[in-house]
Amino acid sequence: MSARYTVRLSDDDREALRLFVSRGTAPARAIARARVLLKTDADGPAWGDARVAEALDLCAATVQRVRKRFVTGGLDAAVERKRPDRVYARALGGRGEAELTRLAGSPALCVIADGVALRRDRSGRLTRPPLHGRLRRPVPHPRLPPRRRPGRPV
């Protein structure tokens, strides 16, 4: 595959890749791909896939894919992350998303009273979450029992 996709970098591309690698501020994958292009350049070192893969601690298939993406898509396509081909369906429609946004920003979802976080159940009553799994059902707010700690008087 390496003979089919021959990497030939222009002087400007080569200098841009060297600068890109030397800065080291880009994601590690992008830097590794830039180094692959620099090592496989036909006008430069012209290393083979196996040698580049061993030197950069990559798989030979990765080197081949980078070569192919450079020849077919150019420098940016070879270095940058490939975007997914698939379009994902939205889980919520417009109304569902609006309702979720409204609920997430609603102050009525959670109230803190006496250091206890309360939440509204489906009927709209304020309830307290169970205490460490001992309490199975939420307790209605008007009759909140005090929190008890084992071995301590109330």
Confidence of residue 60 (pLDDT cuts 50, 70, 90): very high
- Residues 47-70 have a mean pLDDT of 95
pLDDT, tens only, 13-32 = 999 999 999 998 999 999 99
Q: How far is residue 142 from each of residues 13, 69, 104, 126, 136, measured CA to CA in Å?
A: 71, 66, 25, 8, 18
Q: How many CB atoms lie within 10 A of CB 26?
A: 15
Whether residue 72 is predicted with pLDDT greater than 70 in this model: the reply is yes
Q: What tokens were used for 151?
A: 């071995």
* This prediction's pTM: 0.56
Check residues 28 and 90 and name the one with the higher pLDDT. Answer: 28
| Per-residue pLDDT at 135 exceeds 70 | no
Return all residues near 79 (Cβ < 8 A) that are at least 6 apart: 17, 20, 30, 33, 34, 37
Give the residue-averaged pLDDT of 43-61: 94
- pLDDT for position 104: 67
- Count CB neighbours of 79 within 10 A: 23
Query: Among all chains, which residue has been given the structure tokens 């192919």?
Result: 68
Which pLDDT value is given to residue 1?
A: 46
Q: Is the pLDDT of residue 116 over 80?
A: no
The predicted pLDDT at position 127 comes to 72
